A and B are shown apart, each in its own frame.
Chain A
Amino acid sequence: MTHVIEQSLLQEKLYRRRIEPGLEVFVLPKKGYRKKYATFSANFGSIDSHFVVEGEGKEIVVPDGVAHFLEHKLFEDETGNVFDKFAVLGASSNAFTNFTNTTYLFSATENFPECLEVLLDFVQTPYFTEESVEKEKGIIEQEIRMYEDNPQWRLFFNLLEALYQEHPVKIDIAGTVESINKIDKDILYKCYRTFYHPSNMVVFVVGDVEPESVLNQVENNLNKYNHQPLGEINRLYPTEPPEIVRDYVEQTLVVSEPLLNLGFKETDVGYDGLPLFKREIATSLMLEAVFGSSSQLYNELYEEGLIDDEFDAGYVAEVGYGHTVIGGETAHPEKLYELLVAGIKRAQEQGIDAQTFEHHKRKMMGEFLKSFNSLEFIANNFPAYHFKNINFFEYLEVMQDIKLEEINVRLQEHLDFKRMACSVIKPLK
Chain B
Amino acid sequence: MATYHLKRLKNGINVYLHPTKKFKTILVQLIFHRRLDADKVTQSALLPSVLQRGSVNYPTRQKLAKRLEELYGTELMVDVIKKGERQLIVYTLDLVHDQFLPGENSLLRQSLEILNEIITKPLVENNAFKADYVRQEKEQHEKVIRGLINDKIAYSIERCLQEMCANEPFSVFKYGTSEQLAKIDENSLYQFYYQFLQESPTDLHLIGDLAVEETLALVEEIFAYPRAQEEEIPPTLVEKEPEKVRYVQDELDVNQGKLVLGFRTGISYKDKDYLALVMYNGILGGFPHSKLFQNVREKASLAYYAYSRIEKHKGLMVISSGIEVTNYIRTLDIIEKQIEAMAKGDFSEEIFQNTYSGLRNQYLLEEDSPAAFTNRALDDILAGRTWTTQELLQELARVKPEDVVRIAQNVQLDTVYFLTKKGGA
Contacts and interface: CB of A to CB of B under 8 A. Distances in A.
A359 B70 contact: yes
Contact of A369 (B24, B61, B254): B24
A403 to B, nearest CB: 19
Contacts of B360: 90, 109-110
Nearest to A364: B73
Interface stretch (B164-172, B337-345, B363-371): B363-371
B106 to A, nearest CB: 15
A299 interface: yes
A292 B65 CA distance: 9
Interface string B357-380: 110111011011110000000000
Contacts of B57: none
B149 A254 contact: yes
A256 B147 contact: yes
Interface in B252-279: 252-256
A293 B65 contact: yes
Contact of B25 (A32, A138, A370): A370
Nearest to A83: B288
Interface in A1-42: 9-11, 30-35
Interface string B102-146: 000000000000000000000000000000000010011001101
Interface string B266-304: 000000000000000000000111000000011001111
Given A34-B368, A84-B289, A88-B353, A11 B143 contact: no
Contacts of A10: 100
B354 A84 contact: yes
A294 B58 CA distance: 12
Nearest to A259: B150
A302 interface: yes
Nearest to B252: A254
A148 interface: yes
Interface in A53-92: 81, 83-84, 87-92
Interface in A244-264: 253-257
Main secondary structure of the interface of A (DSSP, over half): mixed
Given A362-B72, A373-B24, A373-B25, A294 B65 contact: yes
A308 B301 contact: no
> Interface size bucket, B side?
35 or more
A329 B94 CA distance: 26
B73 A363 contact: yes
B182 to A, nearest CB: 16
A109 to B, nearest CB: 4
Contact of A359 (B21, B66, B357): B66
Interface in A136-152: 136-140, 142-143, 145-146, 148-151
A249 B148 CA distance: 25
Contacts of B350: 88
Contact of A257 (B73, B147, B297, B355): B147
A32 B22 contact: yes
Contacts of A338: none
Given A149-B256, A305-B136, A362-B69, A34 B365 contact: yes
A288 to B, nearest CB: 9
B289 A329 contact: no
Contacts of B256: 142, 145-146, 148-149
Task: Give the top 6 A-B pairs by smallest Cβ distance, nearest first.
Answer: A90-B357, A366-B72, A138-B301, A366-B73, A363-B73, A294-B65
7 contacts: A256-B146, A302-B136, A303-B136, A363-B69, A366-B71, A366-B96, A373-B25
Given A293-B65, A365-B73, 6 more contacts: A83-B289, A107-B361, A256-B143, A329-B143, A331-B143, A370-B25
